[in-house]
Amino acid sequence: MILGIETSCDETAAAVLADGAKVLASVVASQDKIHAPYGGVVPELASRRHLEVIVPVIQKALGDAGVSLADLKAIAVTQGPGLVGSLLVGCSVAKSLAYVGRLPLVGVNHLEGHIFAAFLQEPSPAYPFLALVVSGGHTALYLAREPLRYEVIGQTRDDAAGEAFDKVAKLLGLGYPGGPVIELTARSGDPKAIAFPMAQITDGAPDFSFSGIKTAVSLHVKRNRPLSAGQVADIAASFQATAVKMLVRKTVRAALALGVHRIVLTGGVAANKALRGALQAEVAERGWELFIPPPALCTDNAAMIAAAGHARLLAGERASLTMNAVPDMKLA
């Protein structure tokens, strides 16, 4: 029985996991309302809010799971990457609880956590697999040939995919966070209305780039102001379709080049139905395997951190009480 703690960005989360994959409780306190007026996460406000709610969030997770601190066997906490002030809150609480409860502690890479969300459902992926991690801070393809080892196959050269959704939503005056609201708005729009450019990486690397499409949306908005609701929906739908096409195309190409036909799609943007459906269609056509966590486990949560922590603990990893947040922690 492991307690997972996640505070890397703007979600305060705690979860109780049994046997590495059974989610007994998963509590996520969102800070969306706090950051919405600013159109993005304000680090200072995020860490303060984590501080206010982390203890009640952990208490709720333990209560929902029907367990007490004495029932826990270990604590897993996100060590990085993320906002340093936010990470520090989770790490400090985790260290305190580990000290008080004399429990083993393990620091988890947030991106590995996203990948381990795929292990919280049956069937879970076998190795090797190619993981597309698409979130607000990261967009990368990782090859996992064996457990707990990752190779970066490609990554974004500028904005993360989620960041692009958030920025386009801001340009369209749709609010924050952008992903869900773009998805909703896109439903009533025409995905073929505007031909936004697909980024071309000329050196052939399986990398991503989202700054071009963001600029194209910005120019389109400026040229066509004031926008009607129909135009906003068309822009949202066309942007989403192009972003999805870029993500799917690079992933399929990388999988073909590597000869790896098992794909994991995860991270906040993987909650997007258009992306899930498009990758599903490509994978089905080729007879490959695809693993996508349910939307609530794609966006930031602590169950995925507990799952990755469980695997690391079984591999013998332990963090000392002097462990610290690593804001630029690398996965590979």
Instruction: Give the binding site for ligand KG4 (CB under 6 A).
Output: 9, 135-137, 162-163, 165-166, 177-180, 183, 267-269, 271-272, 299-300
98 versus 111: smaller Cβ distance to ligand KG4: 111
Minimum distance, C-beta of residue 214 to ligand KG4, in the bound complex (Å): 13
98 versus 159: smaller Cβ distance to ligand KG4: 159
Minimum distance, C-beta of residue 160 to Zn ion, in the bound complex (Å): 10
65 versus 305: smaller Cβ distance to Zn ion: 305
SS (HEC) of the chain:
CEEEEECCCCEEEEEEEECCCEEEEEEEEECHHHHHHHCCCCHHHHHHHHHHHHHHHHHHHHHHHCCCHHHCCEEEEEEECCCHHHHHHHHHHHHHHHHHHCCCEEEEEHHHHHHHHHHHCCCCCCCCEEEEEECCCCEEEEEEEECCEEEEEEEECCCCHHHHHHHHHHHCCCCCCHHHHHHHHHCCCCCCCCCCCCCCCCCCCCCECCHHHHHHHHHHHHHCCCCCHHHHHHHHHHHHHHHHHHHHHHHHHHHHHHCCCEEEEECHHHHCHHHHHHHHHHHHHHCCEEECCCHHHHCCCCHHHHHHHHHHHHCCCCCCCCCCCCCCCCCC
User: Beta strand 2-6 with 11-18: parallel, antiparallel or unpaired?
Assistant: antiparallel
- List the single partner that 299 binds among ligand KG4, Zn ion, none, CB under 5 to 8 Å by kind: ligand KG4
Sign of the alpha-carbon torsion through 103, 105, 110, 115: negative
- Does 185 contact Zn ion by CB under 5 A? no
74 versus 329: smaller Cβ distance to ligand KG4: 329
> Of 61-69, 127-135, 221-229, 274-282, which part binds Zn ion (CB under 5 A)?
127-135
Minimum distance, C-beta of residue 237 to ligand KG4, in the bound complex (Å): 13
Query: Which of 135, 266, 272, 301 contacts Zn ion by CB under 5 A?
Result: 135
97 versus 331: smaller Cβ distance to ligand KG4: 331
Minimum distance, C-beta of residue 169 to Zn ion, in the bound complex (Å): 18
User: What is the size of the binding site for Zn ion (CB under 5 A)?
Assistant: 2
> Of 57-65, 96-104, 171-179, 298-306, which part binds Zn ion (CB under 5 A)?
298-306
Rounded to the nearest 10 degrees, the angle between the axes of helix 161-171 and helix 211-223 is 10
- Does 6 contact Zn ion by CB under 5 A? no
Minimum distance, C-beta of residue 180 to ligand KG4, in the bound complex (Å): 5
97 versus 271: smaller Cβ distance to ligand KG4: 271
- Does 300 contact Zn ion by CB under 5 A? yes
> Of 94-102, 132-140, 233-241, 288-296, which part binds Zn ion (CB under 5 A)?
132-140
82 versus 154: smaller Cβ distance to Zn ion: 82
Interface contacts to Zn ion, rule CB under 5 A: 135, 300
